[in-house]
Amino acid sequence: LLTAGYVHLSAVIHSATVKQDTGVVSASVGDNVTLRCFYDSQVAMHFSWYRQTLGGRPELMSTIYKYDQPSKVFHWLEKNPRFSVHREQGMNHLHIADIHLSDSATYFCGSSHSNMLEFGEGVFLSVYHQHSESRLQEIIQGPASETIQPGGSVTFNCTVNTGTCDRERSVYWFRHGSRHGIIHTHGDQCTRVSTPGVPSQGCVYHLQRTNLSASDGGTYYCAVASCGEILFGNGSKLLITDDEDQKLRILVWLSIIRVLLTTLLHNICDLWPQAECEQRDTQK
């Protein structure tokens, strides 16, 4: 199961029966956070939580058997008492108390039955120092959204205004969508830019995607790790549309409008004297 779990996590297979908090959740050091997970499978027998740090391997945190009463605690939770699991029928929530910077990671909720593991889309927990002087000042992503045809290309930009933190950094790009996961990493190489009103130079990182297909759609996030923190941009949404699909939708709508107009004309004729309708039909 563990081996299979790693394989599934690396591909991050989304299951419609497992629904969890998604996207990016931000929290300050010392906060308490609950990551929610719901499932509607009646056949699932085991319920688990995994976490994966940026650039790291998936780590099994907890696994609970359906009929354990009370639920047994996985040894990872025994070693890390700040983490706890609250499971009831249809839910398996992960609670993290007194959050540390090292808790920044992607958390996956899963269930299993018949040697099949199913996972939610995953949620990234971004932890920061609320009053840190070394915190990165700002991360700006662009464009906010793009609509591209299959086979096209797009370039995403991530601008980092360093503020008081100008140390070496690592930049990651990952996608939240049909195929979730890290898709590219940068070292500390960037294009230096000057921003009016900002004393220090900023850095611009680029992610280019070519020969796009429908599976490339989703929201792309830029994550910057520096000064002991990981901060995220607001995301860039990529929508892949096909001209043929658009033409088909237009034809469907035109057909619907035609049917509605025909029905309306018949209803009007039913309200008028039959002779007038026949006379109008003859004139036409």
Domains of the chain: 2-128 (2.60.40.10), 144-240 (2.60.40.10)
Highest mean pLDDT among 70-74, 164-168, 256-260: 256-260
Residue 43 phi/psi, 5-degree rounding, is -105, -10
Higher pLDDT, 69 or 233: 233
pLDDT tens by residue, 143-190:
888 888 888 888 888 888 766 566 667 788 887 765 556 666 665 566
C-alpha distance from residue 162 to each of 132, 153, 193 (Å): 13, 29, 11
Instruction: Report the greatest alpha carbon distance in the chain.
Output: 90
What tokens were used for 140? 């700006």
Q: Is the pLDDT of residue 193 over 70?
A: no
CA 44, chain centre distance (Å): 24
State the Cα–Cα distance between residues 38 and 17, nearest whole angstrom: 8
Higher pLDDT, 263 or 16: 263
Q: Are 33 and 44 in contact (CB under 8 A)?
A: no
What tokens were used for 220? 């792309």
- The full length of the chain comes to 284
What is the secondary structure of 43-84 as a DSSP string? S--EEEEEEE-TTS--EEEEEEETT-SSPPPPHHHHH-TTEE
Residue type, 253: W
Q: Are 144 and 237 in contact (CB under 8 A)?
A: yes
